[in-house]
Amino acid sequence: MMTLTEENYLKAIFHLSSERQDVSVLDLANSLDIKMPTVNSMVKKLAAKGLLIYEKYRPLSLTEAGRLEAGVIIRKHRLVEMFLVEKMGFQWDEVHEIAEQIEHIDSTIFFDRINDLLHSPKFDPHGSPIPDQEGRIANTAYMKLSDGKIDKDYIFTSVAISQSSFLKQINRHGLKLGDRLKINEILDFDKSIVVTINNQYIENLSGMVAGNILVDAN
C-alpha cells in the first residue's frame, strides 16, 4: 500500500511528463511546492520501490509500474469528479479539490461501484480520458488552441488544467466542451486570440487561457 504522499508524487511526475520531455527534481519540487531535500529523499524512495528511474543530474522518468500506479490514482480522481458532476450536481469548477481528497481511499470496490453507477465513462467533466482499472490511459490527439491557425475551426475537447480559477474564467467566456471555435485573429502584442464560438458570437481569449484550452488536433 502506498502513502498519500507517494501517490501525490507519482501523479505529479505523470502530469509533468505529459507536459514536457524532461522532468527534473527541481520541476517536481516547484510543482509540489516542496523543498528540494525532501523531494530528493522521496524520489530515491520511489526509485527503490521500482516506480521511478532516478539518476543524479538526470531527468526523472516513471517505470512501467510507476505509470500504471499513477494511472490508477488518476482514474480514481477523474471518476470522482464525474460522479460529483453527474450524480451530485456540482459544477466542473467545484470538483477538483474534493476529488484530490477522495482519490486516496484504498478501496477498489468503492471506485468500481462509482464506475458502474456512471456506466463506465471514458472521459471526466474536463474532457480528460479516464484510465482503465489497470491504470492504462488512452492516447488523445489534443493540441492547444494557442497553437491553432487563423481561419480554421476547432472543437473544444478538454482543458490542460482543472484549477477552479481557470475553469471559472472559461465560464465567463461562455465556453463549454464541444463548442466549435474559429480563430479569427492572433494578436502579436500578447498572443491573445479572437475566436468565433459556434458561429454565434466573438470572444477575445488571453494567450494564457488559449494555451490551456485543448482542441481536437484532427
The CA distance from 146 to 128, in Å, is: 19
pLDDT digits (tens, 9 = 90+) for 161-199: 999 999 999 999 999 999 999 999 999 999 999 999 999
The CA distance from 77 to 166, in Å, is: 18
The CA distance from 198 to 112, in Å, is: 37
**How much is the pTM?**
0.92
Of 127, 185, 95, 16, nearest to 210 by C-alpha is 185
- Write down all domains in the chain, each with its CATH number in brackets: 4-62 (1.10.10.10), 76-139 (1.10.10.10), 142-216 (2.30.30.90)
If one counts every other C-beta atom within 10 angstroms of the C-beta of residue 14, the result is 20
The CA distance from 12 to 28, in Å, is: 7
90 CB burial (10 A radius; 0-12, 13-18, 19+): middle
- Mean local confidence (pLDDT), 117-141: 96
pLDDT digits (tens, 9 = 90+) for 53-65: 999 889 999 999 9
pLDDT-derived band at 139 (thresholds 50, 70, 90) equals confident
Residue 121 phi/psi, 5-degree rounding, is -65, 150
